Chain A
Amino acid sequence: MELLTPGTGLLFWQVVVFAALFFLLSKMAWKPILSSLKERETSIQTALDSAEKAKAEMASLKSDNEKLLKQAREERDHILRDAREAANRIHDQAQADAKKNGDRIIQDAKAVINIEKQAALRDVRTQVAQFSLEIAEKLIKKNLANDTAQKELVNSFIKELKLN
């Protein structure tokens, strides 16, 4: 059948044109197209890779930051604790000193008071004795002004003596 027998002319032209088309397209079309596609593929891949790397770097940076922060926080706590301890110590010390001072002052005061008291008491005693003597003198002077009173006194003395 005619449909199935290839025509020599078309066969010839097809070989020539297809071969030419292949060489021309390879040089002028496929080479630039495929190379730019490859270029794009690699650029996308490198972009993705660098993004991944940046992400990892960010994560490590973040963990570093956190570590630093944690360290700083610990240091702060440490310093605060130290300061508080120091303050407490100083406070206690001051309190103890103050107490000691106070005690000493009180003791000194007590001693002074005692001495003063003794002195005052001694004073009071001598004065009381003086006053008693004076009172007794005045009484005696007054009571022994008449005879009966003297007699009575002598009598009372005698009575007392008798009893003894």
Chain B
Amino acid sequence: MAIIAAGTPVPEITLKREDGSDLTQDDLRGRTTVLVFYPFAFSPVCTDQLQVYEELLPELAEQNAVMYGVSTDASWSQTAFKEKLGITIEQLSDFEPKGAASKALGAYFEPAGMTNRALIVVGPDGTVAWSHLAASPGDLPGVDKVREGLAAVAA
């Protein structure tokens, strides 16, 4: 599955926010959005990634950008995960229908039935500005990759 390419408008998607409300493609307009797709809450590798990204939040705020973590876990699991990590990055659940939004964005890993390790940066106009699919789900993109994506919006 190829990840959604830069220049493509975000298709119709629906993800569940932590408060149970829906987040759709229309909610991505007006500011830059960084979607961080990770395979599973509580997997040891994902743990480190989101704690490292938490350090980037002040920099994102300066650029009118917001970051979300996305996985196919249910919101309850994501919230527990977030609390365990001590992070504030809001989590979006792609639980039901499972992985539908991730599939629409090319960020789903079919062989294992899980969200792939991917980053998608959406510009304030609702168009994908940059995307990155890790070579394998265990391959963690660093903060430098997120910065690369933000630079694509600024360009």
Q: Do A and B bind each other?
A: no
